[in-house]
Amino acid sequence: MQVEKLESWVKEHKKPLIISGPCSVETKEQFFTTIEQLAGTGVHFIRGGIWKPRTRPGTFEGIGKSGLSWIKEAKALYQVEIATEVASPKHAELALEAGIGLLWIGARTTVNPFHVQEIAESLKGIDIPVFIKNPINPDLSLWKGALERFSKAGIKKLGAIHRGFDSFQKTKFRNVPLWQIPIELKSEFPNLPLICDPSHIAGRSDLIHEISQKALDLNYDGLMIESHCSPETALSDAKQQVTPKDLADILGRLEPRDATKSDTAFINHLEIIREQIDQADREILEAIATRMNLVEKIGEYKKENNVAIFQLSRWKEIFRTRPEWAKALNLDADFIKELYRFIHQQSVQKQTGIYKEEDQEVDLD
């Protein structure tokens, strides 16, 4: 996939790229006041949702077409570039006519390859940046697929927005970040600009700084943060929007990180620690291999004695003791529980294999 580096298409804009403005454009006054208050905060693109893909009907679904004239007017009056979401070729056509500076595809659109393909084809030949939000579900291929469709349509100023993923589990986030998914995306497409949308990950304004800092720590290229002149009265996403003043405070407290350092002392020290990590990983793998050999032994023994593979009391004991041992070693108990879920799954699979092998032998006799 061919994409241009962010530095080559965002003129004079060093990392991080900042996109901020209201979740939804509601009234001319609200939009213009927010833009005025954002002056001097270092925002590169003003965000303004015109069409709002809401999960449930009956909520504010965006001002629609009638808000487009405010985009034109604001652009001329404040000399700003404006970004909006499009969910159909018609939206794209209207947004381009209004002089939009950046488009993004929302999480609910990325999940649908037909819509993605139609929008991508309708944008052939445009020169403005197009960002693709991750799909609602944690499916990296779907995200990559959408990016590839735009890339195939010749869009070179292409980027990805990480807005978190839907989850059944109750967490402090509105959408769980699952940072490993965007990291995997970035490792496959190193030139692809990746920005974070902490507002939709958080769902609440007090987490925005923490998530934004984490994104910068992970070398993200920018942030899209929802801001509103009066968040408490917002018609959509009221809890997660911040005032332009709070945005300035959040941005001011962020610590930028260098992608890497080239001085020899740093590189040498990094290498020493990496060698130690390699050694620790070898030891982990050897310990897992030892455990799996024991699993094989116990599987054969259970089979000989005609005992079921899964023993509930033992399973409970493992999931009680390992997190306890982990805590004593200063390890995160939830992480270790998750790890043991995989180990246990593999252990059951291995034993099932042993039972099957012997069954086959019996069948052959």
Contacts of 198 (CB under 8 A, 6+ apart): 207, 208, 211, 212, 215, 223, 225
Q: Under a CB-based contact definition with an 8 Å cutoff, are residues 226 and 199 in contact?
A: yes
- How is residue 165 annotated by DSSP? B
Q: Is 31 helix (H, G, I), strand (E, B) or coil?
A: helix
According to the binding rule CB under 6 A, does residue 163 interact with ligand PEP?
yes
Contact pick of 16, 22, 48, 49 for ligand PEP (by CB under 6 A): 49
According to the binding rule CB under 6 A, does residue 193 interact with ligand PEP?
no
To Mn ion, the closest distance from the beta carbon of 227 in angstroms equals: 11
Phi, psi of 255 (to 5 degrees): -105, 115
Number of helices and strands in the chain (H, E)? 14, 8
According to the binding rule CB under 6 A, does residue 53 interact with ligand PEP?
yes
Q: Which is nearer to ligand PEP, 53 or 113 (CB)?
A: 53
106 binds, among Mn ion, ligand PEP, none (CB under 5 to 8 A by kind): ligand PEP
**Residues belonging to the chain:** 365
Q: Under a CB-based contact definition with an 8 Å cutoff, are residues 134 and 165 in contact?
A: yes
199-216 in b/e form (b: 16+ CB < 10 A) is bbbbbebebbbebbbebb
According to the binding rule CB under 6 A, does residue 64 interact with ligand PEP?
no
According to the binding rule CB under 6 A, does residue 228 interact with ligand PEP?
no
According to the binding rule CB under 6 A, does residue 234 interact with ligand PEP?
no
**Cβ neighbours, 10 Å, residue 349:** 11
Closest CA to 249 of 20, 45, 31, 30: 20
Q: Under a CB-based contact definition with an 8 Å cutoff, are residues 23 and 236 in contact?
A: yes
Window contacting ligand PEP (CB under 6 A); options: 102-110, 114-122, 264-272, 309-317: 102-110
According to the binding rule CB under 6 A, does residue 22 interact with ligand PEP?
no
Please tell me the count of residues contacting Mn ion according to CB under 5 A.
2
According to the binding rule CB under 5 A, does residue 85 interact with Mn ion?
no
Contacts of 334 (CB under 8 A, 6+ apart): 323
To ligand PEP, the closest distance from the beta carbon of 106 in angstroms equals: 3
Window contacting Mn ion (CB under 5 A); options: 76-84, 156-164, 232-240, 306-314: 232-240
According to the binding rule CB under 5 A, does residue 251 interact with Mn ion?
no
The CA distances from residue 87 to 106, 108, 174, 279, in Å, are 7, 9, 22, 49
To ligand PEP, the closest distance from the beta carbon of 213 in angstroms equals: 20
163 binds, among ligand PEP, Mn ion, none (CB under 5 to 8 A by kind): ligand PEP
Q: Under a CB-based contact definition with an 8 Å cutoff, are residues 92 and 72 in contact?
A: no
Query: What is the C-alpha separation between 162 and 113, in angstroms, rounded?
Result: 18
Looking at the DSSP assignment, which residues form a beta bridge with residue 83?
47, 102
According to the binding rule CB under 6 A, does residue 3 interact with ligand PEP?
no
Contact pick of 133, 157, 228, 322 for ligand PEP (by CB under 6 A): 133
Q: Which is nearer to Mn ion, 6 or 19 (CB)?
A: 19
Residue in the shown chain whose Cβ atom is closest to ligand PEP: 106
Amino acid at 122: S
Contact pick of 3, 6, 23, 25 for ligand PEP (by CB under 6 A): 23
Window contacting Mn ion (CB under 5 A); options: 22-30, 189-197, 291-299, 310-318: 22-30
According to the binding rule CB under 6 A, does residue 200 interact with ligand PEP?
yes
According to the binding rule CB under 6 A, does residue 25 interact with ligand PEP?
no
* Chain positions contacting ligand PEP, by CB under 6 A: 23, 49, 53, 85, 106-108, 133, 163, 200
* Chain positions contacting Mn ion, by CB under 5 A: 23, 237
